[in-house]
A and B are shown apart, each in its own frame.
Chain A
Amino acid sequence: MTSLLEVNGLTTHFTTRDGIVKAVDGVSFRLDSGKTLAVVGESGSGKSVTALSIMRLVQEPQGKTVAGEVLFKGTDVLKMNEREVRDLRGDRVAMIFQDPMTSLNPVFKVGRQIGESLMLHKGMSRKQSFERAVELLDMVGIPHPRERAGDYPHQFSGGMRQRAMIAMALACDPDILIADEPTTALDVTIQAQILELMMEIQERTGTAIIMITHDLGVVADMADDVMVMYAGKQVEYGSADEVFYRPRHPYTWGLLDSLPRHDIDEKGALQPITGQPPSLIDVPSGCSFHPRCRYAQPVCSAEVPPLAEVSDRHCAACLFAADPEFVRGAPLPVAAGEGGAR
């Protein structure tokens, strides 16, 4: 059975004055209807570019997807012509952006903006699309949707705008909803509401969601699968249960350790991952995480770890991932000072 979306070896490069930035480097995953894939990683790890590459929205000519395939229902998006991609965007694959304050066009009424993709893809008249926009606003929990549809974005609060954005993305009943950090710019309480809303909608419409985030709390609540990215590469990919309970990559451990935990009465300081994310122009040799890895061995700087299956539906890109002794919280190796001190 073909998956709804299957991405194989996706590689996107940006050409800059300083060299080629390997923003996404050989990312592969699959997504089925009604499922949620969370893409996690630090800023600059290639999460957003992965999403943009899937929709072919990477700004050319600086950015270019140089290799890989994006199979949407078996058809390679990267080989489609401009017209076919446009028909896909907004209709079959929709996107929610990070900052609701800036992702709505200030000169259009909210209802009109939500209706635009309906006019574009479904050939609806202005009036029909407005009616549908009112329904959608109602669905995303905007009170008095009919009146509010006639408002301009600046008359909406941040949370309402993000709801409007979601309504906009859902207008054409897309098969895939890509949410690029949809809650980052919102208050914590509003964040929770937006996530609830997205889960509810997924239950109702069966849309698949790709959730890009750096907030593991968000991931935990929603995701079926988790993909952890570091320096443009997948370092760990598997079901949410596997990645959370049996993480196999030291970077994932680092992410989990750096979370504040309110369940444990512990006054200890948070455990950050030391060092800085690497420059994507000059990626470290071998495993790109080795300069920051507390467990790094000499071999780590020489050999690129492949993304290997460690158990059913769980892959990790670490040379030691298969070692049963090498688990989260394992004692530091004797030679650890070498790698960790850098």
Chain B
Amino acid sequence: MSAGDERPTRRPNGATDVEGHETRNEGTTLPTLPGGLHAHAKSRTLWGDALRRLRKNRLAIVGLIWITVVLLMAVTADLWVPPTFGDPLAVNTTPGANLQPPSLEHPFGTDKLGRDVFSRVVYGARVSLTVGVLAVSISLAIGLLLGALSGYYGGFIDSLVMRSADVFFAFPYILFAIALIAVLGPSYRNVFIAIGILGWPSIARVFRSSILSVKETEYVDAARAMGASDLRIMFRHIMPNAIAPIIVYGTMSIGGAIITEAALSFLGMGVQPPTPSWGLMLSDAKSLMFGAPWLTIWPGFAILTTVLAFVLMGDGLRDALDVKMKD
């Protein structure tokens, strides 16, 4: 607009005058904004940033290390545990071989059937970790799909999914698990199936609310205005922004699933003897709690530390994955 000076009403904004002329005179190179002046750090990836923040969180690292140790022990158990400490299933009926207190030969002692407790705890980790991971995988598979449909499409689908989730929430958790296993039959496989099925409503809810909040953002509108298709918006724009709470929740859920497995096995509804499971070991030892405390202490310790490790890890991830967290 020329002749701006003759048109007072056209420039009610003082700054338009001052700044406007200033910038115009400079042609294409507009003044550098303050943001351009800061020492420019090497650009990193989002996940790289997250990892760096995670590394600074000591508790999360402790959790991660402990999970790694337990995992490594469980995976490599076949190589070193039976030759050194004895087969976890080998019953030793020699008089005096059972209920031995911890010693060099049996660092965690032996149980009433003369089996090495350390060996059983290590093999128990296999059960716990597998159940934890598989159960959460099942929950994720169902929960993510339903949560995504529910959050993205809303309306009738949303009501259907969320009301079904409410039905699941309406039952006491452990009781529901026991009922499910009573129907499926108690076994190793059915334990994680039951825990997995019971876990989906929470995952679906978390994912749905996460998607709902991301869906309303302007960058999703912007993506739509750019001509992106539904699928592209869903997977490229919404998912990456909505997945962080799921990573956190999923990690913590593994801990939860391990506890549930232990509880179910303790009640006799889970892993069946003689398979070593931490819950089952506690159950077997409950009458000997005072006579042979090592029988309860070590499986208990294993449950406590492993679950805690997953929770700490999840907590650390929550902070690490928050893009807005300044380091």
Binding site for B on A (CB under 8 A): 55, 57, 85-91, 94-95, 97-99, 102-107, 109, 116-117, 120-121, 139, 141-144, 147-148, 150-152, 154-157, 159-160, 165, 168, 188-193, 195-197, 200, 215-218, 220-222, 244, 256, 259-264
**Contacts A160-B36, A244-B9 given; does A221 touch B218 at CB 8 Å:** no
B219 proximity list for chain A (CB < 8 A): 102-106
Closest to B20 in A: A192
Within the complex, what minimum Cβ distance (angstroms) separates A90 from chain B? 4
Closest to A82 in B: B229
The residue that A262 contacts in the complex, of B7, B14, B217, B221, with Cβ under 8 A, is B14
**Contacts A196-B20, A222-B1 given; does A95 touch B222 at CB 8 Å:** yes
Closest to A150 in B: B43
Within the complex, what minimum Cβ distance (angstroms) separates B237 from chain A? 6
A259 proximity list for chain B (CB < 8 A): 9, 12
Cβ contact within 8 Å between B226 and A120: yes
Stretch at the interface among B27-35, B184-192, B310-318: B27-35
Cβ contact within 8 Å between A191 and B227: no
Cβ contact within 8 Å between A262 and B12: yes
Report whether over half of chain B's contact residues are helix, strand or loop; otherwise say mixed: helix
Using a Cβ–Cβ cut-off of 8 Å, how many residues does chain B contribute to the interface with A?
Answer: 47
Alpha-carbon gap, A102 to B23, bound state (A): 26
**Contacts A99-B218, A144-B40, A193-B23 given; does A107 touch B32 at CB 8 Å:** no
Would you list which residues of chain B between 56 and 108 have a CB under 8 Å from chain A?
none
A121 proximity list for chain B (CB < 8 A): 227
Alpha-carbon gap, A289 to B243, bound state (A): 48
Cβ contact within 8 Å between A192 and B15: yes
Cβ contact within 8 Å between A196 and B226: no
Alpha-carbon gap, A121 to B24, bound state (A): 33
Cβ contact within 8 Å between A193 and B31: yes
Alpha-carbon gap, A196 to B18, bound state (A): 12
Cβ contact within 8 Å between A159 and B35: yes
The residue that B12 contacts in the complex, of A86, A99, A216, with Cβ under 8 A, is A216
Cβ contact within 8 Å between A117 and B46: no
* Interface: B323 (CB within 8 A): yes
Alpha-carbon gap, A88 to B40, bound state (A): 37
Would you list which residues of chain B between 306 and 327 have a CB under 8 Å from chain A?
323-324
Cβ contact within 8 Å between B23 and A192: yes
B323 proximity list for chain A (CB < 8 A): 106-107, 152, 154
Choose among A57, A98, A142, A220 the residue with the greatest number of B CB atoms under 10 Å from its CB: A220
Interface string of B210-248 (1 = CB under 8 A from A): 000000011101111111110010000100110000000
Could you pull out 13 A-B pairs where Cβ atoms are within 8 angstroms?
A: A97-B225, A103-B218, A104-B219, A116-B223, A120-B228, A121-B227, A143-B32, A151-B43, A168-B222, A188-B13, A222-B1, A244-B10, A264-B8
Closest to A121 in B: B227
Q: A94-B225, A193-B30 are in contact. List 5 more A-B contacts (CB 8 A).
A: A120-B228, A144-B40, A151-B43, A196-B20, A220-B12
**Contacts A102-B218, A107-B241 given; does A263 touch B8 at CB 8 Å:** yes
Alpha-carbon gap, A160 to B34, bound state (A): 9
The residue that A107 contacts in the complex, of B15, B20, B46, B229, with Cβ under 8 A, is B46
Within the complex, what minimum Cβ distance (angstroms) separates B53 from chain A? 13
Closest to A100 in B: B218
